[in-house]
Chain A
Amino acid sequence: MAYLELNNIYKSYNQADGETEVLSNINLKIEEGEFVAIVGFTGSGKTTLVNLINGLIKPTSGEVLFKGEPVVGTSHERGVIFQNYSLLPWLTVEQNVLMAVKEAFPKREKAVWKRKAAHYIDMVSLTPAINKLPKELSGGMRQRVAVARALAMKPDMIIMDEPLGALDALTRGNLQDQILNIWGKDKRTALLITNDVDEGIYMADRIIPLRPGPNATLGPEFKIDLERPRDKTEMNDNPNFKKTRNAIIEYLMDIGEERKSESTQEFVLPELTPKDFVK
């Protein structure tokens, strides 16, 4: 049995102008200790997929199984790193992390909580900024706090929703390494949602493209057979890397084309004549 299983997920939202289908026929299996990346265009329903897995929303039909149990509501077993950090702006770095620590270790003393929080903050090398408010931090530092907070819940699986999307390339590279480092230490299961194919290849064991919505569904998976730890500069010369990268990009380009041709909807124009037309 897989660690995380999505079976025939279908999700739609009821809106004023009818039903909007976001995801359909999603099937996914993730094994324990695996690092899977889902790559997709913006607006293809990635965030909906994440919220389904972490239990913030329920599928319209189909089931999400985590360790064989259906997912009902959120749980500290699945830590989430949100796209927009979502730190509480009135709390300091330490207090933000402490909230998660208290959830993971409810019946401990204050000193233990503090020590744990300090440990996770140190893990993302933010100890000097421990008493700062989020607004005093740079984007990269904020995201590191979010990483620390997600880790502080002692999750069995980490779900990352475009965690590095808003960062510049250099910070991004650094954080990728930091996340991989932490993941490598205790081999937790990880799911990364991203729109960056290179990031997916660099970090994940498997890449699964998400075909764009409406009715988004998962495409065929691509295995990444690269030794860990991976090196960014060396990777560029690796024929295996080049092949996989090209294959994925080609696939994504193709479905992008498909989407374009699908959307050539016929618009019926109303018959209009100017009101004050002089004959």
Chain B
Amino acid sequence: MKASLTLGKVTNFIGLGFFTTLKDLFTGKLEKEELKSFLRKTIVPLASILLFIGLWHLGAKSLYNIEADFKIEKALEDQGQAAADALKACIASGDSSCQPNTLPSPSQVWDSFQSLLRDHNIISADKAAFAEKTAALNAKRIAEGKDAITYTGRPSFVDQIFRSLQTVFAGFLLALLIAVPLGIFIGLSPTLKSAFNWFIQIFKPVSPVVWYLLVFMIVKTLLIDSSEDSSFTISFISVGLCSMWATLVNTAMGVSTVDKDYINVAKVLKLGTFQKIFKVVLPSSLPLIFTGLKITLSVAWMVLIAIELLAQSPGLGLFVWEEFQNGANDSNAKIIVAMFVIGIIGFLLDRLMLTIQNWVSFDKTDAI
């Protein structure tokens, strides 16, 4: 009983309460009413997922047919009946050289996903072999004070994911370090607020592409002497600047709208400025600050793809762009795989922030 209680609390806390119901189903502790709600929570989403995949499959199939018919017709017009027949046979045989290039079907996407994983395994094995081969040499080089030889092969899909996560966390950290302190100052001082208001209003809606270009202009000049690849720096700074606005605005708002009663308490207790900020103002605006941070993280993840693509910084964005440029017969399917991976990681990041937010906010309804 105790264990299940804790599990329930934990899952509710991170916003995945449905796992508790799942557990209750297997332990046979479900009442009739609960069963109804359980069905609503599990069967309905499952059914809608299946429906989605079915519609996707049908849609992809009809797009495939349109594309195939068009190709055959074109061959008939340009090259005559024989070529058209040959193409038709080729398409029917499933030969990859002549497949219509359109929206991939769910099964193609699944195949691509597995091939990406296989690819990752091959590359990892390759890397491990490389490391083993160069271990002795590298030890010697380091002893001589030279740089170690590093693996320079192409990164696998999984490597790209981790690279993207690195970029987004660096950007998020930058946004946090700029927006939270600045937001506190703006929230505390009406003078600063009117000084910064135009700035916020104008820069908030600027698109990620423009932020990237701006950061590029500046960083390019600043790092003019450096031989290092600056694409990572540029992309994480752009991500940070682009996504920090929600936190900035929310922090300023939270700090400037602290309950008057709390301020009165601080005055009656004669707290100093620092005490007042850290003991009263900040705790009371934490929920709003974290709402801002949550939005910031999801915006950061969203703009990351576009910025990586522009900055040619390794990551999912670049992966998508390269696959699009590549135009191989499974490129489209790989792009869709990347789309789902981006979506799922975005969802997980959101849950992570929600959990932290529940943890720190004082009016939490169900503390562990």
Q: Answer whether A99 and B267 are a contact pair too, CB < 8 Å, given A86-B261, A86-B262.
A: no
- Chain B residues touching A, range: 10 to 19
Whether the pair B268, A54 counts as a contact (CB closer than 8 A) is yes
Most buried by A among B270, B271, B286: B270
CB-contact partner of A80 in B268, B271, B279, under 8 A: B268
Question: In the complex, A86→B297 CA distance in Å?
Answer: 34
The listed residue (B268, B280, B286) touching A88 by CB distance below 8 A is B280
Q: Is the CB of B268 within 8 A of A74?
A: yes
Closest chain B CB from A165 CB (angstroms): 15
Report the minimum CB–CB distance from A192 to chain B (whole Å).
17
A99 and B270 alpha carbons, distance in the complex (Å): 10
Is A8 an interface residue when CB atoms closer than 8 A count as contact? Answer: no
- Expressed in whole angstroms, the Cα–Cα distance for A56 and B265 within the complex equals 10
- Measured CB to CB, the nearest residue on chain A to B365 is A135
Q: Is B264 an interface residue (CB 8 A)?
A: yes
Chain A residues with Cβ under 8 A from B284's Cβ?
88, 90
Given contacts A74-B270, A75-B270, A100-B269, contact A90 B362 (CB under 8 A): yes
Contact A103 B270 (CB under 8 A): yes
**Across the interface, do B283 and A82 meet the contact criterion of CB distance under 8 Å?**
no
What's the nearest-Cβ distance from chain B to residue A153, in Å? 7
Specify which chain A residues have a CB less than 8 angstroms from the CB of B362 in the assembled complex.
89-90, 133
A135 to B367, CA, bound (A): 12
A91 to B279, CA, bound (A): 9
Instruction: Please name all residues of chain A whose beta carbon is closer than 8 Å to the beta carbon of B279 when the two chains form the complex.
Output: 88, 99
| Distance to closest chain A CB from B272 (angstroms) | 10
Shortest beta-carbon distance from B42 to chain A in Å: 33
B212–chain A nearest beta-carbon distance, Å: 39
Asked whether A84 and B269 contact (CB < 8 A) given A90-B283, A90-B362, A99-B279, the answer is: no
The 6 closest A-B pairs by CB, nearest first: A90-B362, A86-B261, A90-B283, A74-B268, A103-B269, A86-B265
**20 more A-B contacts (CB under 8 A) besides A76-B270, A103-B271?**
A54-B268, A56-B268, A74-B270, A75-B270, A79-B268, A80-B268, A82-B264, A82-B265, A86-B262, A86-B264, A86-B265, A88-B262, A88-B265, A88-B280, A89-B363, A90-B284, A91-B283, A100-B269, A103-B270, A153-B269
7 pairs from A and B in contact (CB 8 Å cutoff): A54-B268, A56-B264, A76-B269, A82-B264, A84-B261, A86-B264, A135-B363
Q: Which A residues form the contact surface with B (CB < 8 A)? A: 54, 56, 73-76, 79-80, 82, 84, 86, 88-91, 99-100, 103, 133, 135, 153
Chain B residues close to A by CB (< 8 Å): 261-262, 264-265, 267-271, 279-280, 283-284, 286, 362-363
